[in-house]
Amino acid sequence: MFDSFLFSFMAIVALGIGSQWLAWRLRLPAIVVMSIAGLLLGPLLGLLNPEQQLGDFFGPIISIAVAIILFEGSLNLDVREIRGFFRPVGRIVTIGAFLAWIFGSLAAHYVAGLSWEVAFVIGGLFIVTGPTVILPLLRQAKLKPRVGAILKWEGIIVDPFGALLALFAFETIRFLKGDLTGAGILIFFAASAFAGLLGWFFAWALGKMFEADKVPEFLKSPVLFAAVLLVFVVSDEIMHETGLLAVTVMGVAMANMHLSSIEDIRHFKENITVLLVSAIFVMLTASLSVDTLLAIFEPRIIAFVLATLFVVRPLSIWLSTIGTDLTRQERTLVGWIAPRGIVALTVSGYFATILLDQGYEDAELLTALTFALVFGTVVVHGFTLGPLAKKLNLVAADNSGALIVGGGPFIAKLAASIKEDGKPVAIMTDAWNDVFEARKAGIKVLSGDILSEQVDYRYDLAPYQNLLSMTHMDMYNAHICSDFVHDFGPSFVFRSGLKGDPKRYGVDSVRLVRSPGRFLFEPAVPVGVLDSRIRNGHVIRKTPITERYKYTQYLRERDESPVLLYILRKDGRVDFFSPGTELAAEPGDLVVSLSPPDKTVEKVKEKLEVKTDGKASASKEQIEKRLNGNDPAGGDGNGGKPPIPGPVPESALK
């Protein structure tokens, strides 16, 4: 009853996705949780053996899944994203990858005892650094922009080509040993060239059709999915294993055509890839035999993992970056951090089958060896990245920047204020019309849906300490806070006030109110109300707190109309106001609020018109000079009285 194909397939998918969810909840790398789940139900308890239960479908499922995974990864290789640091990345992904292949192959042969054929295949495969693993680590470590970008793009660029290098290594070794004739190797390279051209042609043809609206929006992703399968299968039928090259070229070509609909396509592919990665990883780990699992603890395999960690990776990076402008600290960190990811393990299982079919018996250790390296690097690098970066002084300075999700006039003004304070700020939205004012003010705008995994590939979020979710959709804000609370921390994730009684959400009202993310500002008014106030002339006002004008006095004199936004500390930190959170400003801090301009001007005029030491009250011209920061008297411009809030727009004086 429970041994049917459908039940086994359902169990694999459920176990994979369940592991992904549990990893998200526990803030653990998904690969670790999926490893434990697959091993527990597979070789340890014997409840699941996908290789036996899926039968002849096991190999094709893995092959197609690997093709889709590689296409999805190559779909992110837009060369525009690496122009600022092209030289070090170029060295690492070419010379560094080649050296890592040679050194890794030597270690696999002399340390792990594998044959040359298997050693060079595994050496090529292990050049990948696992973007699905390294991106969450980089986001948590908050490295300096350049070193973080190098690690990020190395993982993205090298990842699709690791399997191709392993494939070419396998065919070349066969040729050198005489198992493949000269004509055979020429046919192989000709078939590879054809596969590349086929992938490029389909990318070009589909791109032209998409841009000319020859395919409706609802069919673009399914058509592309079918085209990937077609390109892979046709290439693979002409020459086995060249399908991987075809789909990789297809993805790179489409990524650099800059299609207007590429975001929707990426989002669809992302969802498919998450499902496939989860299922395939469970399939591979659950199919491990007890003997293979025990082989992981063999001294030669442990020695190979140590050699890869402490010799192969550092040596290849140090040699390949000679002559670049990378500092010693940067080269040390990049040379140490190289966690292998899910793609390495899935592709290793693919090649293990091929090598076993060719009669290489030591290929039985391939999956175990890969699993040992993947698990070992994820754990070791995951726990050492942060401390090592701090020791090398490669952690980004605490600039207390803000990533604001949403758009509209208030967000544009708030971002401009934060930028004026010298803090990094960016607005992320998929509604381009909502950020016209922000773009006009020179604010950095990131296009996309923040809940999409593609954001990790395309943007570096490390400079932004605070996440402000300020869309007009309350539930969407709650979802954003839930997804990013582990990355930014519960004290740095905020959402705008609710648009009314949360009971209108019905069964979701409790989840809405209790979801992570503190409400923004004091009081926590909805972003629509803030937009309305900006349109009615309200201004962002910055009030300095001094020894003479203390924060308590500021609160006493403040009426209920201003909205307290944040405090700019004298040490550069930014603390946002939130209901229920007590903030106190010290001398040297700035209190930033959204205030009505008319009341601001009247309060300033009232203070300036007070007679002191028998002098006449200030004239209108003096008032205007002091409001604009041009008081010729110097000092605080107020004769020792509490400092004058400002600046206030001239239009407010009318």
Q: What is the pLDDT of residue 6?
A: 82
**pTM, rounded to two decimals:** 0.65
Structure letter (DSSP) for residue 547: S
Q: What is the pLDDT of residue 494?
A: 93
- The yes-or-no verdict on residue 376 having pLDDT over 60 is yes
Residue-wise over 442-470: b if at least 16 C-beta within 10 A, else e?
A: ebbbbebbbebbbbbbbbbbbbbbbbbbb
Please determine, looking at this structure, whether the domain spanning 397-595 carries the CATH number 3.40.50.720: yes
234 or 357, greater pLDDT: 234
- List, for residues 275-333, the tens digit of each pLDDT value: 787 787 788 778 877 877 788 888 999 999 999 999 999 999 999 999 888 889 999 99
* Residues above pLDDT 90, as percent of the chain: 20
One DSSP character per residue, 64-104 reads HHHHHHHHHHHTT--GGGGGGGHHHHHHIIIIIHHHHHHHH
579 or 163, greater pLDDT: 579
Nearest by Cα to 579 from 473, 466, 496: 496
Q: Could you give the CA distance from residue 57 to residue 534 in angstroms, rounded to a whole number?
A: 61
- CATH value of 5-391 in 3.40.50.2300, 1.20.1530.20, 1.10.10.10, 1.10.3720.10: 1.20.1530.20
Give the start-to-end residue ranges of the domains of the chain: 5-391, 397-595, 612-654
Most distant CA atoms of the chain, gap in Å? 107
Q: How confident is the model at residue 620 (pLDDT cuts 50, 70, 90)?
A: very low
* Residues above pLDDT 70, as percent of the chain: 80
- Using alpha carbons only, give the angle 241, 275, 404 rounded to the nearest 5 degrees: 115
CB 404 within 8 A of CB 428: yes
**Same fold: 5-391 with 397-595:** no
Find the length of the chain.
654
Structure letter (DSSP) for residue 638: S
When pLDDT is averaged across residues 260-265 and rounded to a whole number, the result is: 67
**Which residues are 592's β-sheet partners?**
542, 566
- List, for residues 585-608, the tens digit of each pLDDT value: 899 999 999 988 765 555 554 554
Query: Helix axis angle, 342-357 relative to 30-39, nearest 10°?
Result: 50
